[in-house]
Amino acid sequence: MKNLLRHPAYQEVEKALRREVWELVGFGAFFFITGLTLILLSPKYHFGLLILGTLLLSPAIYLFLKAIQNNKIQESDVIKIIKYNSKDIVWIYPFVTQVMPFGISLYERCYIIMKTIDGKELSFKVPVRKKKLLLSWLKRLVPHARFGFSKERETLYGQSPESFLNKNWDK
């Protein structure tokens, strides 16, 4: 177990969680600067800009608070369950999305989704090129879990996450 937590894939999980915090900070900064700019322009141009600017400060504050809350990577739910309660993970699958306006592929995102025995869902976003590394590492870390998505698994997990462990799909 200790060797698996020194694996490069574990470092990728930590990087993914740090990246999510920085995305929150970036979006928060965008809303904050935009809202502040509109507030500063409102006396000169229009009163509606003051209201819009004030409204834009709300998501900025929310995103900053969320970034502060998630800043301690080692205390995140994903890291805690991987380190201390990996036996509670019963199902793991990747979810890849492509952004393709007008049929032109701009970029892909991969979310690793982990479902637990108590019905909780945890996920983190990783580069698509790291998906195979992470899934093979997770298969060694939690060999009892089921990997891959299917409608049958989704239905069974929705009915009873506990009975999910008793199926032998991967054998």
Residue ranges with strand state E in 44-159: 89-99, 107-116, 121-126, 146-147
The C-alpha atoms of residue 56 and residue 53 are separated, in whole angstroms, by: 5
DSSP-based three-state secondary structure for 89: strand
Matching residue, tokens 């879990």: 145
Query: Does 39 share its domain with 66?
Result: yes
* Average pLDDT of the segment spanning 8-32: 92
Query: Does 87 share its domain with 143?
Result: yes
13 by Cβ neighbours in 10 Å (0-12 / 13-18 / 19+) ranks as buried
pLDDT tens readout for residues 113-125: 999 998 899 999 9
pTM: 0.78
Give yes or no for a contact between 168 and 125, defined as CB atoms under 8 angstroms apart: no
pLDDT for 167 beyond 70: no
Q: Please give the pLDDT value at position 114.
A: 94
pLDDT for 79 beyond 60: yes
pLDDT for 1 beyond 80: no
Mean pLDDT of the chain: 86
Query: Does 83 share its domain with 147?
Result: yes
Query: Does 63 share its domain with 82?
Result: no
Query: Does 66 share its domain with 98?
Result: no
Q: Please give the pLDDT value at position 171.
A: 47
Give yes or no for a contact between 91 and 114, defined as CB atoms under 8 angstroms apart: yes
In a domain, 68, yes or no: yes
Of 75, 106, 138, which residue constitutes the final position of a domain? 75
In a domain, 81, yes or no: yes
Identify the H or E element spanning 104: none
pLDDT tens readout for residues 104-113: 888 888 999 9
pLDDT for 166 beyond 70: no
Query: Does 36 share its domain with 52?
Result: yes
pLDDT for 60 beyond 90: yes
Which residues fall within 8 angstroms of residue 28, CB to CB, at 6 or more apart?
59, 60, 61, 62, 63, 64, 67
Strand partners, 125: 111
Residue 39 is part of which domain span?
4-75
What's the first-to-final CA gap in the chain, in angstroms? 23
Which comes out higher in pLDDT, residue 35 or 2?
Answer: 35
The C-alpha atoms of residue 115 and residue 87 are separated, in whole angstroms, by: 11
Query: Does 87 share its domain with 18?
Result: no
Query: Does 70 share its domain with 81?
Result: no
Query: Does 11 share its domain with 53?
Result: yes
Domain count for the chain: 2
In a domain, 171, yes or no: no
For residue 132, what is the domain's CATH number? 3.30.720
Query: Does 143 share its domain with 70?
Result: no
Least confident of 33-37, 108-112, 162-166: 162-166
